[in-house]
């Protein structure tokens, strides 16, 4: 999990190109005030971090890791909080360009296709661009760079997250003749959520004992909304064996509601390998979690930015979860191999 989103978070499909500033105007801004490199004169390298939401705990973990590296590398990071609003993020790109002060921008996109004109404008103005956490482009099954000129793409593809989620569901249902699953989206209909679900469905399709019998939405900002959604769900049905959530925040809220309803035996799966998830897996109250690596993402993104700004190096696409134990599938037998990178 990875991520994630506005009341219509990361990945609205509506194009925002009409809101993007023109390349001509941006080039003019760049000509008037070319960014400093931070080399030679002791001035810091200036980087804009265009965050989908500063309140999102995964992105704040990535930001914290970037700040640690920035201190050691003479980098000044200025964070722009789009509060999960794509139009706000587009306007913030204009602000970054108009200032003429930045060497590059690290972008956690809200709208992975609509933001492309703004990213192109930054590239045309001479800024280096690194994509963080949420993909930019139309393919949801790859971490590869999808916009020519972008220096790096550091993220876990949502389709891959969905497949890993499906693999955990298969393990949770192992040995069951029939296994009924309740599935919690962040927000159903979002491109990100639908890509995660597509990966999940692809895996469970080979296991006819698994049936998704209920779907709910839990949002992406804390445990309260998913707890309420689960409370509403158990008013109408309780006949599921596994509860699959697309984020650990959702799983945590769902578990509270399930416990209150006397359904604590339900096998709960989340996404994130957060501190509460790892503790719950260790003590047996959670079945599992798909790991994400926000701190690794932050460090890798800033290092890729510095390599691009200072060395002209193109890093390309990296999925940090592939570097974790057991492809990031956390269950009781391997939980000691994982360290939480965020607090859930």
Across the chain, mean pLDDT equals 88
pTM over 0.85: no
Instruction: Count the Cβ atoms, other than its own, within 10 Å of residue 237.
Output: 11
CA atoms within 13 A on the CB side of 316: 2
Closest CA to 320 of 336, 308, 304: 304
Rounded to the nearest 10 degrees, what angle do helices 158-172 and 191-204 cross at? 40
Instruction: Copy the structure tokens of residue 306.
Output: 């510095």
- Over residues 122-155, the pLDDT tens digits come to 999 999 999 999 999 999 999 999 999 999 999 9
Ordered domains of the chain (ranges, CATH) = 17-155+294-313 (3.40.50.2300), 159-291+326-337 (3.40.50.2300)
Q: Confidence class of residue 109 from pLDDT cuts 50, 70 and 90?
A: very high
d(CA 147, CA 113): 10
- Over residues 313-328, the pLDDT tens digits come to 999 999 999 999 999 9
Contacts of 192 (CB under 8 A, 6+ apart): 2, 3, 4, 5, 9, 10, 11, 112, 134, 140, 158, 186
57: pLDDT strictly greater than 90:
no
229: pLDDT strictly greater than 70:
yes
Burial per residue of 124-146, b for 16 or more beta-carbon CB atoms within 10 angstroms, e otherwise = bbebbbbbbbbbbbeebebbebb
Contact, 302 vs 106, CB < 8 A? yes
Would you call 303 helix, strand, or coil by DSSP?
Answer: helix
Predicted pLDDT of residue 33: 36
d(CA 126, CA 129): 9
């Amino acid at each position: 999990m990875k991520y994630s989103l506005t009341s219509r978070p990361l990945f609205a499909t509506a194009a925002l190109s009409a809101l993007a500033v023109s390349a001509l105007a941006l080039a003019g801004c760049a000509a008037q005030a070319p960014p400093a490199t931070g080399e030679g004169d002791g001035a810091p390298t200036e980087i804009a971090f265009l965050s989908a939401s500063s309140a999102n705990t995964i992105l704040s973990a990535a930001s914290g890791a970037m700040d640690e590296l920035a201190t050691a590398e003479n980098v000044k990071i200025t964070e722009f909080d789009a509060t999960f609003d794509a139009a706000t993020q587009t306007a913030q790109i204009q602000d970054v360009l108009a200032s003429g002060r930045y060497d590059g921008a690290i972008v956690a996109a809200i709208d992975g296709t609509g933001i492309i004109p703004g990213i192109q404008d930054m590239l045309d103005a001479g800024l280096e661009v690194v994509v963080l956490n949420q993909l930019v482009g139309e393919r949801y099954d790859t971490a590869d760079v999808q916009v020519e000129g972008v220096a790096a793409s550091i993220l876990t593809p949502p389709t891959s997250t969905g497949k890993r989620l499906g693999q955990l569901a298969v393990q949770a249902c192992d040995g069951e003749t029939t296994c009924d699953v309740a599935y919690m989206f962040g927000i159903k209909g979002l491109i990100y959520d639908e890509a995660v679900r597509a990966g999940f469905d692809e895996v469970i399709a080979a296991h006819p004992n698994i049936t998704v019998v209920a779907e709910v939405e839990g949002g992406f900002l804390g445990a309260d909304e998913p707890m309420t959604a689960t409370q509403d769900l158990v008013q109408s049905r309780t006949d599921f064996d596994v509860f699959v959530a697309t984020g650990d925040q959702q799983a945590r809220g769902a578990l509270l509601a399930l416990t209150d309803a006397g359904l604590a035996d339900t096998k709960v799966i989340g996404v994130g390998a957060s501190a509460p998830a790892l503790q719950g897996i260790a003590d047996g109250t959670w079945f599992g979690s798909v790991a994400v690596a926000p701190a690794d993402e932050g460090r890798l993104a800033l290092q890729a930015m510095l390599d691009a700004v200072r060395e002209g190096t193109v890093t390309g696409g990296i999925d940090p979860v592939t570097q974790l134990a057991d492809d990031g599938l956390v269950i009781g037998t391997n939980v000691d191999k994982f360290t939480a990178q965020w607090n859930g």
